[in-house]
Structure 1
Amino acid sequence: MGAVAGLLRALVPRPCPGCDAQLGREAGLCPACRARLVPRVEVYSPLWLRPEGHLVTLGPYRGVTRRAVRALKFGGARDLAGALGGALAAGVPAGWNVRSVVPVPLHSARERERGFNQAALLAGAVAASLNVPAVPALRRTRATGQQARLHAHERAGNLAGAFAADPRRLPSGPVLLLDDVMTTGSTLLACRDALHAAGVREVRFAVVAR
């Protein structure tokens, strides 16, 4: 399948999702856009209230990161997960001692509708770069309204009790919880609480964009 995809890219040039430059055989993003994916560790409200409130991110949801995330999430450009995930993994501090990567789950109905979970694709790429397993240890217990359509004060209530964790497949040690985009942090905190309730002691955060 990889050889076929490479042949199709060579025969049918397509624009880079980040800048519209024509791509050749390379997958995902052009070299110039890849160079703009610079990871950094940040402290971001409301996470700063908690000791584990540091997160690694590629920066604000704008420019190349915004266009790439939207192409992955809504355009079905799954090969972007490798470029974004690899860049994100490069910013994970060695001191975090990450032992597994857990994606934020979609509700099963929404995942069937989309055909994939973009956070799971990103988690796979990050985990491969860190040489640790990607583990779908979280599930949504109920459908929720889309966070982006809610006011900030409504988001935590929308997600209350919406996640459950099964840590039996997780290796011991810190977990890197991963999502594509963070707005207020409510989704990450709800997932973190579910992991804590299941006995996971240490949770770190990673998002492509905030």
Structure 2
Amino acid sequence: MIVVIPPPLHSGPMIDLLRVLLPRACPGCGAQLGRAAGLCDRCRAELRPRVERHSPLSAQATPHLVTLGRYQGVPRRAVRALKYGGARDVAGPLGRALAAGVPASWQIAAVVPVPLHPSRQRERGYNQAELLAQAMAAELGVPCLPLLTRTRATAQQAKLHASERSSNLAGAFAVRGAVPPGTLLILDDVLTTGSTLLACRDALHAAGVTDLKYAAVAR
């Protein structure tokens, strides 16, 4: 007898297939989506972008960060579905909602996703920040540029104390390829202490980038 062992549940293609074939619930509220993608209309209406000031990220008093609010409710459940449940289609409505909050005065030239280490991306099947950045960039009419790379594997930030997060990411990012002129927007899924975005900022500053803005689904 031949026994067929299915791929592990975290396999991206397998989860994508299941999400097409099986009835799906909205990750934000649990309502049935049918064949609709991402989030239901009610949950999309709850995604309200805002420009905030995060002291370590803002050199001046001017806010440099756009988010969809606190890491709770619909944003939290949607991020967790994207990050851990294989719900790639959630990236579209989240990224587009973030783009709606970007002031025209920022004049964004490109969106730069926070990278995963290659080993973690192979395990997950995709980089959730890159999917968010692609949706956001498309809405803004600018390119999504994977300019950053992880130079070493790091411990998961969510499992570390706040005091350990900065040292965990020190020197963990580098710039690859040519950096375009203009303002770049760095995007991550969740902002807690800001250590990840600050480490990305330092890498881009070292490459000569001076004008940066930031985005995160939730903080």
TM-score (norm 2): 0.88
The aligned residue for residue 185 of structure 1 is 194
The aligned residue for residue 63 of structure 1 is 73
Structure 2: distance between partners of 1:180 and 1:123: 9
Q: Is the 8 A contact 2:51 2:63 kept in 1?
A: no
Q: Match of 2:185, SS? A: strand
Structure 1: distance between partners of 2:196 and 2:63: 13
Q: Is the 8 A contact 1:34 1:83 kept in 2?
A: yes
> Structure 2: which 5+ residue stretches go unaligned?
1-15
Q: Is the 8 A contact 2:28 2:73 kept in 1?
A: yes
The aligned residue for residue 43 of structure 2 is 33
The aligned residue for residue 197 of structure 1 is 206
Q: Match of 2:197, SS? A: helix
Q: Is the 8 A contact 1:167 1:198 kept in 2?
A: no
Q: Match of 1:79, SS? A: helix
Which residues of 2 match residues 45-84 of structure 1 at below 5 A? 45-48=55-58, 50-51=59-60, 54-84=64-94
Q: Match of 1:139, SS? A: strand
Which residues of 2 match residues 166-181 of structure 1 at below 5 A? 166-168=176-178, 170-181=179-190
Matched, 1:122 2:132: yes
The count of aligned residue pairs is: 201
Q: Is the 8 A contact 2:24 2:35 kept in 1?
A: no
TM-score (norm 1): 0.91
Matched, 1:148 2:164: no
Q: Is the 8 A contact 1:102 1:178 kept in 2?
A: yes
Q: Is the 8 A contact 1:15 1:23 kept in 2?
A: yes
User: Runs of 4+ in structure 1 displaced over 4 angstroms?
Assistant: none
Structure 2: distance between partners of 1:41 and 1:122: 17
> Structure 1: which 5+ residue stretches go unaligned?
none
1:159-198 Cα offsets, whole Å, 9 max, x none, are 1111001250x43100000000010000000000100100
Q: Is the 8 A contact 1:61 1:181 kept in 2?
A: yes
Backbone CA RMSD of aligned residues: 1.6
Structure 2: distance between partners of 1:70 and 1:149: 15
Name the aligned partner's letter for residue 131 of structure 1. Answer: G
Identity in percent: 68
The one of 100, 114, 118 aligned to 1:104: 114
The aligned residue for residue 11 of structure 2 is none
The aligned residue for residue 167 of structure 2 is 157
The aligned residue for residue 95 of structure 1 is 105
Q: Match of 2:88, SS? A: coil
Structure 2: distance between partners of 1:64 and 1:45: 25
1:65-120 Cα offsets, whole Å, 9 max, x none, are 00000000000010011010000000011100000000000001100111100000
